[in-house]
Each structure stands twice: as structure tokens, then as C-alpha cells.
Amino acid sequence: MMTLETELCGVLLKNPMIAASGTFGFGEEYSELYDISCWGAISVKGLTNRPRSGNPPHRIAETASGMLNSVGLENPGVDAFMRNELPRLARQGIPIIANVAGSTIDDYRESVGKLSDSPVSIIELNISCPNVREGGVQFGTSPERVREVTSAVRSCTSKPLMIKLSPNVSDISEIARAAEDAGADAISLINTITGMAIDAKTRRPILANVTGGLSGPAIKPVALRMVWQAAAAVSIPIVGMGGIMNADDVAQFMLAGARAVMIGTANIVDPMAGPRILAEIENFMQENEISDIRELVGGLRTS
């Protein structure tokens, strides 16, 4: 017998694969291609308290081994999500993770408060957002701000709380510990790395917003390093992400200390990435005589 089950904040996942926020929408388009209940869980498109139209185009640019995005958190808002999208998603019979973004701590608290009585299983807090009351500085760039926003949200929900960490920091271990100390039940990392692209012929930036978030295989080595460092710093579960394209990538992140993984850019490159990678994981386990995928977690040999 072979098991792919894992547990995250008391929530059972039938496999460690989570569709990453911002790359899977609300699952509707992908459900036209395959049964999306094959995922261990789905983290939905980032939600804000009120609807957002996002940034002007161009909002996506292809790069070597990755992509830049500056979508700007376009979404219908928490209320519309709960009314129009969540009932359909809940029928899939798998855990739904609500990814929440905000410009102020009050934004986060209000959104999370609304979601607290909903069928979502876990709330993922995207703290790579500019705090408008702090001059646009991201919430996730200092331990003090991470503690502040995590503690504030922790006090208004009993749902499992997962903090999504920014890689644009000097010490990821310190940031991870701050989230744990403030009451986080889990952390997910890494979010995108800030980058830009330039059209040399026009001498203009390709993205209308000038900079954007780099994702895809190009950031995987950085993501693996940060997951490994965070795993050594905290005792709460870690969800790893950053350039996962196949089963070998999944295994690498789990060996570095991740209990589950999020798959993002792969869904854009290959709309069938979900079922493909799941089949690859099963083959990987058979070929390597692994009976329980949890055997991989933290199994990296450094000596």
C-alpha cells in the first residue's frame, strides 16, 4: 500500500499538492479540463475586502525559465467570492484555502472576519502587500510588522492561519519565527521575487507597473534554500513553493522540510499540470520504494 496523505493545521489533504493562489483562479476554467478534486487543496485567487480591478496591461511577461506578473490582485472581493464561488468550490470535497490580501490591518481583519464563518478550511494571509499607512512598505518585510499583522488577524478567527512569506527580506528565519510567535499555525513560502523586464527597442518597461513578481523555475533554488532555513527555525508546518514543475521538484521541497507544496506557474505553462504531477509523484514513490510520502519531510541529508 502507498499513501500520499498529509496533514496541515489539522486539515487532512489526500495528497501534498495545493493549487497556488493567483494561478488557478477559482478553479472553474481548469474544471473544464479535468476533475480538480484531484488536488490535495486549492488556494484561491487572492481576495481583498472590496473588489479590485488590478493593474493596467501589460500585466504578464515571459522571462528565461519563468514569468513576471503584475496583475495587481484583481478579484471580485470577499463578499462576492463567498456568494458566487465558494458554494461551487465547497462541493469539490477538498479543502479550500482562502488567500487574503489587504492594504491595512483593518482590511485583513475585516476580510478574515467574514471568512471565519465560511466553509474554507484554512486562511492564507498574503503579507507581501503595501501597508498604505506605512508609506507603502510591505507588511512582510520586517519581523515587527509580521508580528503585528499576524497577531491582529489571529485574534479575530479560529480558522487555521497560514502566513505567506515574502522572499524579499534579509533573514527569512527571523520572519518565520515572528509569524510563529504571533500565532500562525503554518507558513507558506516563497512568494514571488521582485523583478522587471525591459524592451530594449522601445527603451520602455514591458510591464505597465514597471516591476512585477518573478515566479517559475528561475526562483526554485532560492525557494528551496528559504524553505530549508525556515524549517530549521520553526516548529509549525511549512508549505513550500517556487518553480515546482514535476514530481522531482515536489520531493526536493519536501526533503527541505515542506509538509505540502503549492504549484503555481506550472498551471499556466501546462493546464494539465495537476493530474500530470500527481501521476508522476505516484511513479516516483513506486520507483523509490516509498510507502508514505511523509517519509520525505525534512529528510535532506547534509552530511
pLDDT of res. 128: 83
- How confident is the model over 62-100, as pLDDT tens digits? 999 999 999 999 999 999 999 999 999 999 999 999 999
First vs last C-alpha separation in the chain: 31
9, 38, 129, 156: which is the annotated catalytic residue? 129
Q: What is the DSSP string of the chain?
A: --B--EEETTEEESSSEEEPTTTSTTSHHHHTTS-GGGSSEEEPSPB-SS-B--PPSP-EEEETTEEEE-----B--HHHIIIIIHHHHHTT-S-EEEEE--SSHHHHHHHHHHHTTSS-SEEEEE--SEEGGGTTEEGGGSHHHHHHHHHHHHTT--S-EEEEPPS-SS-HHHHHHHHHHTT-SEEEE--PEEEE-EETTTTEESSTTSEEEEESGGGHHHHHHHHHHHHHH-SS-EEEESS--SHHHHHHHHHTT-SEEEE-HHHHH-TTHHHHHHHHHHHHHHHTT-SBGGGGTT-----
Q: Does residue 132 surpass a pLDDT of 80? A: no
Rounded Cα distance between 113 and 191, Å, is 24
pLDDT of res. 67: 96
- How confident is the model over 240-293, as pLDDT tens digits? 999 999 999 999 999 999 999 999 999 999 999 999 999 999 999 999 999 999
- Do strands 161-164 and 137-138 pair parallel, antiparallel, or not at all (unpaired)? unpaired
**Domains in the chain: boundaries:** 6-296
- How confident is the model over 33-55, as pLDDT tens digits? 999 999 999 999 999 999 999 99
Dihedral sign of CA atoms 134, 135, 140, 141 in order? negative
Average pLDDT across the chain, whole number: 95
pTM: 0.96
Mean pLDDT of 197-206: 98
Q: How confident is the model at residue 1 (pLDDT cuts 50, 70, 90)?
A: confident
Spell out the CATH class of 6-296.
Answer: alpha beta
pLDDT of res. 134: 61
- DSSP lists the bridge partners of residue 194 as 213
- How confident is the model over 217-253, as pLDDT tens digits? 999 999 999 999 999 999 999 999 999 999 999 999 9
Please confirm, yes or no, whether 156 is among the known catalytic residues: no
Q: How confident is the model at residue 25 (pLDDT cuts 50, 70, 90)?
A: very high
Q: Do 207 and 196 touch, CB atoms closer than 8 A?
A: yes
Q: How many Cβ atoms sit within 10 Å of the Cβ of residue 210?
A: 12
Q: How confident is the model at residue 131 (pLDDT cuts 50, 70, 90)?
A: low
Rounded Cα distance between 148 and 4, Å, is 36
